[in-house]
């Protein structure tokens, strides 16, 4: 249990820090560069962080903990994905508010955004833990 909580803390906080840094770079680029290329690259990097860190957390848990199984790998991957997704939602709201380009854009419904994000995190957790079981 101790390894599970440490795993979630290390990979979750690392993912939050990486995601906030990427969103900060995006915020800087919104004011300076009108081209969509850097925005797409930063969005792809944020998606990579959202997918890779839960998988790494599950693999590391299964590699280090002898009695860890699918359930603990799933919980680890799910919690890391939820932390990264939550930071993405929080900071992207600030980014959208600071940007002048998306001020007139329609706002997404919060319930559908949260439920879709939860479903995506569940899917990422399942896939990451299955991949971790195959890798170890």
pLDDT tens-digit readout, 16-48 = 999 888 888 877 776 676 677 777 888 888 888
Domain that residue 12 falls in: 2-135
What CA–CA distance (Å, rounded) separates 36 from 110? 25
Question: To the nearest whole percent, how much of the chain has pLDDT over 70?
Answer: 84
Can you tell me the mean pLDDT for 58-74? 89
What are the residue ranges of helices labelled H in 35-69? 37-64
Contact between residue 43 and residue 91 where contact means Cβ atoms under 8 Å apart: no
Tally of structural domains, the chain: 1
103 vs 19: which has the higher pLDDT: 19
């Amino acid at each position: 249990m101790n390894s599970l909580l440490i795993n979630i803390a290390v990979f979750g906080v690392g993912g939050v820090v990486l995601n906030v840094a990427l969103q900060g770079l995006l915020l800087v680029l919104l004011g300076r560069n009108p081209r969509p290329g850097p925005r797409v690259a930063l969005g792809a990097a944020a998606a990579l962080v959202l997918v890779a860190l839960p998988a790494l957390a599950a693999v590391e848990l299964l590699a280090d903990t002898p009695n860890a199984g699918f359930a603990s790998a799933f919980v680890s991957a799910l919690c890391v994905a939820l932390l990264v997704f939550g930071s993405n939602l929080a900071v992207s709201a600030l980014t959208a508010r600071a940007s002048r380009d998306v001020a007139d854009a329609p706002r997404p419904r919060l319930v559908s955004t949260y439920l879709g994000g939860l479903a995506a995190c569940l899917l990422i957790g399942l896939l990451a833990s299955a991949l971790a079981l195959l890798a170890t």
